[in-house]
Structure 1
């Protein structure tokens, strides 16, 4: 047989205590994002960036956070059009989730407090990676024009 049947994709799941974060959970949150939620993210940029930089498990996402904020700003200003709403909403969900200290696993619990934040960030990054690369390519082209 030359062609194989595709395996059924199982949602990635990170189990923590009695709660689970999976793609369905994050996607449900993304579909509920409104413009006001994106504004909350933008208004709390400094606090979110500080949390990403200072929490050692989240530190690897600090640079990605800067890119996501830059992308949101360029979209808001109209400099970078044609971004799917799903991408904007995914960024907002990921950053709002990181910003919230009382999420599924509260951040103040030593050792496991950031596992759920990492899960949401990882799932969101998987969905929007292509759009982030396109944005970075666009920024590079804009920089070369100047």
Structure 2
């Protein structure tokens, strides 16, 4: 039996349907973003990504509130897919293990790298509109 390779792109794509479900339900989205905020707070394994994750959570929150719309729904769905993966405690490496967030970091790193221009554009918008 051939062992499957860990593939953040495949994982993200597999969560797109669920991400779109969350995007259609403001209460579920609010709960997801709240859970993600709690999960990343003081998380040493994600420390190098905290700023970008926070920016992605803020972008998603503003998109949900319809205060920021200068991003495609597909791009938001990708970010939401990463957030879903982060919040799910039972993934490739369960979060309760000592290195349990390495897979979460890989999936989020893949998504955040792909969304770099979108995050930078949002950050500029946020700085201008404070």
TM-based fold match above 0.5: yes
Gaps of 5+ in 2: none
Which secondary structure state, in structure 1, belongs to the residue aligned with residue 124 of structure 2? Answer: helix
User: What is the rounded CA distance, in whole Å, between the counterparts of 1:138 and 1:30 in structure 2?
Assistant: 28
Distance in 1 (CA, whole Å) between partners of 2:11 and 2:74 is 12
Tell which deviates more after alignment, 83-92 or 117-126: 83-92
Equivalent position to 1:75, from 55, 58, 63: 63
- Superposed CA RMSD: 2.1
Moved over 3 A (4+): 38-41
After TM superposition, the score normalised by the length of structure 1 is 0.73
Query: Pick from 108, 114, 119: which aligns with 1:132?
Result: 119
Task: Write out per-residue CA displacement over residues 29-76 of structure 1, whole angstroms, 9 at most, x where no aligned residue.
Answer: 254244432343431323211211232111233222321222122222
**Structure exhibiting the larger radius of gyration computed from Cα positions:** 1
2:97 aligned with 1:109, yes or no? yes
Corresponding position: 1:20 with 2:5: yes
TM score, norm. by length of structure 2? 0.80
The number of equivalent residue pairs is 125
Q: Distance in 2 between matches of 1:34 and 1:48?
A: 14
Q: State the distance in 2 between where 1:34 and 1:56 align.
A: 26
Which of 45, 70, 75 aligns to 1:87? It is 75
Supply the distance in 1 between the matched residues of 2:49 and 2:129 (Cα, whole angstroms): 24
In terms of fraction of residues, the more strand-rich structure is: 1
Give SS of 1:32's match. Answer: helix
In structure 1, distance between residues paired with 2:19 and 2:106: 22
Gaps of 5+ in 1: 1-17
Structure with the greater relative contact order (CA < 8 A, sep ≥ 6): 1 or 2? 2
